[in-house]
Structure 1
Amino acid sequence: MMRYILLLTVCLLTFLTTDAQIIKVNPQSMSCALYERMDIDVELKGEWANPYRQEEARLDMIVTAPNGKNSVVPAFFVEGESGKTSHWAVRYTPQAAGQHTYIMRYTQPGMESVSQSYKLNVKESNGHGILHIADNWSLRYDDGTPFRGIGENLCWESRANDDSKYFKKLHEQHDRFNYPAMLPKFAENGGNFARIWMCSWNFPIDRKDHFNNIRYEVCDGYINPSAVKRMDETIELCEKLGIKIMLCIGAGEAHTNSEFFVSEKAMAAHRNRLRYIVARWGYSEAIAMWEFFNEIDNIQYRDSKHPIPAKDIVDWHAQMARYIKSIDAFKHIVTTSISHRDLEGLNSITDMDINQKHIYNQTSVIPTTIKDYTQKFGKPYIIGEFGYEWDWSKNFDDFADGMDVDFRRGLWYGLFSPTPVTPMSWWWEYFDNRNMQRFFRAPALVNKEMIESGKGRFVPCEVCADNGQAFAVKCGTKTYVYLFNDSKRAMKKVQVEACGTLRELNIEKAVWGKGRKFEGTISTYVKPYAEKVFVIE
């Protein structure tokens, strides 16, 4: 009898492993450079109704690093049919040199298949890796190199039918407002951090049709091939240009009503969407941050008479932040954003690394907002959008000077405030048309010098001006000063606790002027609504 049971068990196991099995693991190479993408194709046989639902089919790479630490890297489905040979992909970026070992594990209900062990030899390189939190002022790569973002919203490419009242024709210039054109221009002018959306008209990975964008093709599948291809190309372009992305993930095709935040079915669907995004693009050094939502408070109050309870939204964020950290082996930064209404508890979620809000019509409060939120919640704060005006029903040309002034000073406010990314302006098409991209150059120059001189350390200094706003930051042996005159009379004297040689920055040309001796007081002339930058060394 015992022999019969044993034979039955062996037969059953054979049946199970036949129905769900890893057939072949095809690594791109047996070696790669540190922080370099490594692709692995996996052939397997499994059964599912939808291979994008991890409840039905899931493939993971389990990696053991040289220090003995294990991590799990999710794979994503590429092609194939249930019950036949299918192809899956792993994109892996090693974060330590030395010999790594890994296996593949495929799971479906009641069945599991594990591959043999493979080795990957990782050689040292000049790369830096993935960005992580350093402190309130800066980020750091895996290798310890400090980073601060000079940022702008480049949230989408031109739409087929834009809703701007006054700038529709401008916004619909498809050969101009596309990522292969916008991103290189941004980088050439010193930009290194872009906020990009996933939505129905930009990288609509789970949308079948009606994109309002000429770049995507109608499809019948669960995932839109044209959208993921466009995302692949954009992320690879950012890698080449050295641009980091805050990727605003959104909800995809799901309806963000009250049920979305409490229904287990809806949350499971969103976890599957997150898993695909992390599996496909989490390898990339270009991904700086996962942003769950754009302006979650506006979603909360979409129905002003029946707002979604704040607690439901906060609990959802806590769960999803915990989940995305559990599947992201590379530990990218996690954030979300509000427009102007705080949700109680949102800023205090442990697994949310950075808090952020958007500021319009009051650019002058950016420095105090960053300082206050940073001190109150003990984590970095970012101004994810800002501008002189948010209302696209207005003609910005009626107050173009105000738009330009705020574009410039917002960047400088960020550089002299405890934030790892400068405030990011909106209306990228409008400012591109006014040739404002050149004003990234001077902040980029100062940012580079600050990091090199202070090695990632920023120390605010006491500064006193006879008028207007004055900020000073010491980085190593250099003290930088920013003056903005927000009044109707000129600024003439500024006192700073520093001594040495004083130089003034030509903001238009992004070059320093000749030096002169400095002994505590800057004698200058800053006309109303103008700005100046100095360095003392």
Structure 2
Amino acid sequence: MKTKILIVFQIAMFIWGVTNPAKAQIKQATLTTEAVRLFEKAEWNIELIEQWQNPYLKEDVSLDMEISTPSGKKLIVPCYYESGKSNQLQLWKARFAAREVGKYTCKFILCKNGKTTSEFVANSFKAVASDKKGFLQLNNNYTFKYDNGEVFRGIGENICWEARSNDDSKFFKTLHENARFNYEFMLPKLVANGGNFTRVWICSWNFPLEWQTVSANTNRYTNSTAYYNTSAIVKLDRLFVLADSLNLHIMLALAGGGGFETGNYSDKTIGFAESDSAFFVNPKSKLQYKNKLRYLIARWGYSPSIGAWEFFNEVDYLSFSKDPTDTSRPKSVTAWHHEMSTYLKANDPYKHLVTTSISHKDVEGLNLVPNIDFNQKHSYKNTAGIPATIIDYTEKYKKPYVIGEFGYEWDWSKNFDLFANEMDSDFKRGLWYGLFSPTPILPMSWWWEYFENRGMMSYFARVRYISDRMLADGKGNFEQVDGSFSSSEITVYGVKCGKSTFVYLFNPTNEVIKGSVQVPQNKQLKIITLYTCETGETATHERFLVKDGTLSISDVELAPLTDKIIIVSEK
């Protein structure tokens, strides 16, 4: 009898709670970070009561942090739900990175169905200086720049996922499943060898944030009934703590490698779109995506390590139907990017760079979307064409262009060991061709497990050495230089950075070639340095002559399939 009475009471209390919700109220907001430093994470715990169906949907419930900066700017920082039940005491969090030294004031605003239900004025706080450089911003076609004004050029590779437990490679399954290919190993190794930029995917087997059922080829993540996969959240938190500690920047691809049918946007799961093409036009799907962007900003937007938000990996594969007369899909994809990039720019208080990528087929209008900061494509089996591609797209669309993936071979069903030397040479060429082209991120190689296993990661240091010299000499300013070699067999690229000129020479033949280099120069007093790309060795070169505005450097010898850089500087 007592049990029945208790059950009836509990049911009655539940009904009362639904029909008589507790008054919405922000009860407390506590800064948990001991000292707030520029460009570092500061975190608040916010305790509140509010009723909701889904705390991740802004149209249901939202919490924002309104900040007044020392210079008087007003910022709105989205907050995110952490734990607790509807209509009971809940924990929400705010994360913020200060960009100005001085005193800040802030208040928290709670909304239900878009209407304010509670406000809470929190204690003011002061931000002090740090050794961090800040967030990446646009600068010119060759470089980005930090908040502190320092210029940046990205050097690195794709490390799009960690080792999978069931890889589908025909010849390298064992290698790809090796546990050492995790971010704690690969990211520090990349940085130790001169890398400062990488690319990471969110997909069904890597950071599966929007997959309640994860891919069967990974055991790193678990299925989840939560709206956002909790195992993915934990590992994304880990990723950005690690990247921040390394001063490494990440291009985060928000939609990596398929998996639509099992993801949150499909109407077969918890979504609304009947197909991946319907996703781009369904109003409910678009609202769902905007809520995801808001969550990303709230939880990880504080991190300067986010070098760019990348909406899609190779979106051209979703942009065309089998009917060649159907023009609706590319138009809807472009319109979607316009809408989402506008939303992201309006709601990201840090104004992270925004991009998306194609494989090889341009989508009409996509390169012209104004809130896409830089365009990009992927280039396989055409590394020699990378410089021309970058120049062509940069001039045509008047914004930076990036080669987000490149490689000698794209087909994972082939045995790369049969042409391993060609793979290695192509890896190196892509980096050098990018360094001498107008791009702020050097082309990023694919097949990170294969190249790490062959000891290629140390090569990033060779490129970083020259890149640092270019940036130091030119302070981020580059000019194309028309150089030539006495033999037409030699590939030549040149740039001028400040008072220094850099000329890249590559001998693609199987013969030793010796000859002279010509570059435009007027002043007589010069120091000529030869840099051997393979070893990193430098040597002074004495045999040169300036005449009629041309610098001729004689007796330059290149062994088969090798490269050198000539550095011309004033005494």
1:297 maps to amino acid: D
Q: 1:100 and 1:77 mapped to 2: Cα distance? A: 23
Q: Does 1:277 align with 2:286?
A: no
Post-superposition CA distance 1:312-369 (Å, at most 9, x none): 0000000000011111100000000000000111000111000000000111110010
Q: 1:412 and 1:219 mapped to 2: Cα distance? A: 44
Q: 2:444 and 2:207 mapped to 1: Cα distance? A: 21
User: Among residues 186, 201, 214, which one is paired with 1:210 in the alignment?
Assistant: 214
User: Among residues 200, 219, 234, which one is paired with 2:224 in the alignment?
Assistant: 219
Deviates more, 1:252-261 or 1:136-145: 252-261
Shift of 1:391: 0.8
Q: 1:329 and 1:117 mapped to 2: Cα distance? A: 19
Q: 2:499 and 2:88 mapped to 1: Cα distance? A: 65
Q: Does 1:493 align with 2:516?
A: yes
Q: Which residue of 2 aligns with 1:290?
A: 309
Shift of 1:512: 2.1
Q: 1:513 and 1:304 mapped to 2: Cα distance? A: 60
Q: 1:16 and 1:275 mapped to 2: Cα distance? A: 30
SS of the counterpart of 2:236? helix
Shift of 1:492: 2.5
Deviates more, 1:446-455 or 1:194-203: 446-455
Q: Which residue of 2 aligns with 1:368?
A: 388
Q: 1:85 and 1:515 mapped to 2: Cα distance? A: 74
Post-superposition CA distance 1:46-102 (Å, at most 9, x none): 111110111111111111112211111111111010000111111100111111111
Q: Which residue of 1 aligns with 2:6?
A: none
In structure 2, relative to structure 1, the CA distance for the partners of 1:438 and 1:332 (3 Å cut) is same
Q: Which residue of 1 aligns with 2:557?
A: 525
Shift of 1:453: 1.5
Shift of 1:475: 1.5
2:31 maps to amino acid: P
CA contact (8 A) 1:30 1:119 kept: no
Post-superposition CA distance 1:155-174 (Å, at most 9, x none): 00011111111111110101
Shift of 1:476: 2.0
CA contact (8 A) 1:34 1:94 kept: yes
Q: 2:361 and 2:110 mapped to 1: Cα distance? A: 44
Q: Which residue of 2 aligns with 1:503?
A: 529
1:237 maps to amino acid: L
Q: 1:451 and 1:129 mapped to 2: Cα distance? A: 18
Q: 1:208 and 1:332 mapped to 2: Cα distance? A: 28
Q: 1:511 and 1:20 mapped to 2: Cα distance? A: 68
Q: Does 1:83 align with 2:106?
A: no
CA contact (8 A) 1:20 1:111 kept: no
Q: Which residue of 2 aligns with 1:320?
A: 340
In structure 2, relative to structure 1, the CA distance for the partners of 1:399 and 1:491 (3 Å cut) is farther
1:285 maps to amino acid: P
Q: Which residue of 2 aligns with 1:142?
A: 147
In structure 2, relative to structure 1, the CA distance for the partners of 1:408 and 1:107 (3 Å cut) is same
Q: Does 1:172 align with 2:177?
A: yes
Q: 2:542 and 2:78 mapped to 1: Cα distance? A: 58
Post-superposition CA distance 1:111-156 (Å, at most 9, x none): 4211125312112233211101101010001111110010200000
User: Among residues 138, 144, 157, which one is paired with 1:133 in the alignment?
Assistant: 138
SS of the counterpart of 1:118? coil
CA contact (8 A) 2:65 2:107 kept: yes
Q: 2:458 and 2:360 mapped to 1: Cα distance? A: 29
Q: Does 1:470 align with 2:470?
A: no
User: Among residues 357, 361, 377, which one is paired with 2:397 in the alignment?
Assistant: 377
Post-superposition CA distance 1:433-463 (Å, at most 9, x none): 1111111111011111111121111122221
Shift of 1:472: 1.3
SS of the counterpart of 1:169? helix
Q: 2:455 and 2:313 mapped to 1: Cα distance? A: 27
Shift of 1:487: 4.8
Deviates more, 1:513-522 or 1:500-509: 513-522
Alignment of 1:268-417 (within 5 A): 268-301=287-320, 309-417=329-437
Deviates more, 1:146-155 or 1:243-252: 243-252
Q: 2:531 and 2:225 mapped to 1: Cα distance? A: 56
CA contact (8 A) 1:62 1:103 kept: yes
Q: Which residue of 1 aligns with 2:270?
A: none
CA contact (8 A) 2:221 2:232 kept: yes
**Runs of 5+ in structure 2 lacking a partner?**
1-18, 267-274, 546-550
2:62 maps to amino acid: R
Q: Which residue of 1 aligns with 2:186?
A: 182
CA contact (8 A) 2:82 2:92 kept: yes
Q: TM-score w.r.t. structure 1 length?
A: 0.93
Post-superposition CA distance 1:9-32 (Å, at most 9, x none): xxxxxx999622111101124752
Q: Does 1:482 align with 2:504?
A: yes
Q: 1:497 and 1:133 mapped to 2: Cα distance? A: 30
Q: 2:149 and 2:396 mapped to 1: Cα distance? A: 27
Shift of 1:521: 2.2
1:289 maps to amino acid: A
Deviates more, 1:482-491 or 1:265-274: 482-491
Q: Which residue of 2 aligns with 1:107?
A: 111
Shift of 1:202: 0.4
1:132 maps to amino acid: Q
In structure 2, relative to structure 1, the CA distance for the partners of 1:158 and 1:253 (3 Å cut) is farther
Q: Does 1:49 align with 2:53?
A: yes
Post-superposition CA distance 1:190-209 (Å, at most 9, x none): 11100100000000112223
Q: Which residue of 2 aligns with 1:9?
A: none
Q: Which residue of 1 aligns with 2:12?
A: none
Aligned residues: 522
CA contact (8 A) 2:391 2:437 kept: yes
2:162 maps to amino acid: E
2:241 maps to amino acid: E
1:199 maps to amino acid: C
Q: 1:421 and 1:491 mapped to 2: Cα distance? A: 32
**Runs of 5+ in structure 1 lacking a partner?**
1-14
Q: 1:187 and 1:214 mapped to 2: Cα distance? A: 27
Q: Which residue of 2 aligns with 1:123?
A: 128
1:469 maps to amino acid: T
Q: Which residue of 2 aligns with 1:430?
A: 450
In structure 2, relative to structure 1, the CA distance for the partners of 1:163 and 1:116 (3 Å cut) is same
Q: Which residue of 2 aligns with 1:534?
A: 566
Q: 2:154 and 2:493 mapped to 1: Cα distance? A: 19
Deviates more, 1:86-95 or 1:207-216: 207-216
CA contact (8 A) 2:83 2:92 kept: yes
Shift of 1:517: 5.4
